[in-house]
């Protein structure tokens, strides 16, 4: 189990499966393997519930392990990569995004991000630098909002750098990706790699939690998982 002062992260290659549904399935199989390893539970036996970060009600909102409120996790996937973050005794959020060359980052930044984030992006001299900074800002923002349990409904203009009582860290991601983790309080990051071989039953009838999805204005934001 992660010590209370640490956030553990797994970067999971999803392969080149062409169908987004298959990549999503693989990422949630990996989540079950991680949580099963940490809790000493057969991955297919894990059960999930939901709790809303807005109202605190059950049945909707961010997924969590049933009966294990001490263990918090977050999962994100984009194209061929997934990111899993796990913490004990604190809320945690994770986000990974493929840096997409056709995304109009200036238009999205002007319509969605905070003043500080927009200025940071617009001040850069090249398209490549502006694109990299946009996705760095975006992953940090989404990781924080997912940690709160509210997703993008928490406000695209929210600036995680101004959040009180939270630490946000950008991760070293493979070429072409940006990733970040956010959690309450101060923490140390530890990257983990061990996943035991998957149980074939997981791929046959998965019951992994659905991603936290929030409807956002059309054309404003990258896809969210």
Per-residue model confidence as pLDDT tens digits over 9-54? 999 988 776 788 888 888 999 999 999 999 999 999 999 998 766 6
pLDDT confidence tier of residue 57, bands split at 50, 70 and 90: low
Nearest to 155 by CA among 117, 184, 98: 117
Q: Given strand 6-13, what is the order of strands in its sheet?
A: 71-78, 81-88, 6-13, 188-192
**Over 70: is that where the pLDDT of 92 sits?**
yes
pLDDT confidence tier of residue 210, bands split at 50, 70 and 90: very low
DSSP summary character for residue 179: E
Q: Which CATH superfamily is domain 6-204 in?
A: 4'-phosphopantetheinyl transferase domain (3.90.470.20)
Q: Domain ranges in the chain?
A: 6-204
Model-level pTM greater than 0.75?
A: yes
Are the C-beta atoms of 34 and 191 separated by less than 8 Å?
no
């Amino acid at each position: 189990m992660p010590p209370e002062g640490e956030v553990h992260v797994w970067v999971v290659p999803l392969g080149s499966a062409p169908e987004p549904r298959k990549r999503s399935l693989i990422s949630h199989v990996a989540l079950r393997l991680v949580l099963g390893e940490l809790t000493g539970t057969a991955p297919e036996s894990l059960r999930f519930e939901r709790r809303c970060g807005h109202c605190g009600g059950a049945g909707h909102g961010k997924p969590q392990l049933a009966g294990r409120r001490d263990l918090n996790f977050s999962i994100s996937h984009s194209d061929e990569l997934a990111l899993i973050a796990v913490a004990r005794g604190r809320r945690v959020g994770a986000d990974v995004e493929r840096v997409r060359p056709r995304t109009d980052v200036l238009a999205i930044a002007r319509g969605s991000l905070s003043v500080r984030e927009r200025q940071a992006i617009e001040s850069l001299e090249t398209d490549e630098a502006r694109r990299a900074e946009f996705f760095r800002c975006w992953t940090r923002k989404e990781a924080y909002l997912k940690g709160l349990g509210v997703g993008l409904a928490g406000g695209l203009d929210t600036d995680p750098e101004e959040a009180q009582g939270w630490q946000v860290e950008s991760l070293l991601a493979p070429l072409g990706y940006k990733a970040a983790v956010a959690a309450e309080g101060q923490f140390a990051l530890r990257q983990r790699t061990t996943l035991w071989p998957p149980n074939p039953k997981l791929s046959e009838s998965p019951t992994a939690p659905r991603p936290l999805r929030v409807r956002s204005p059309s054309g404003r934001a990258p896809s969210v998982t």
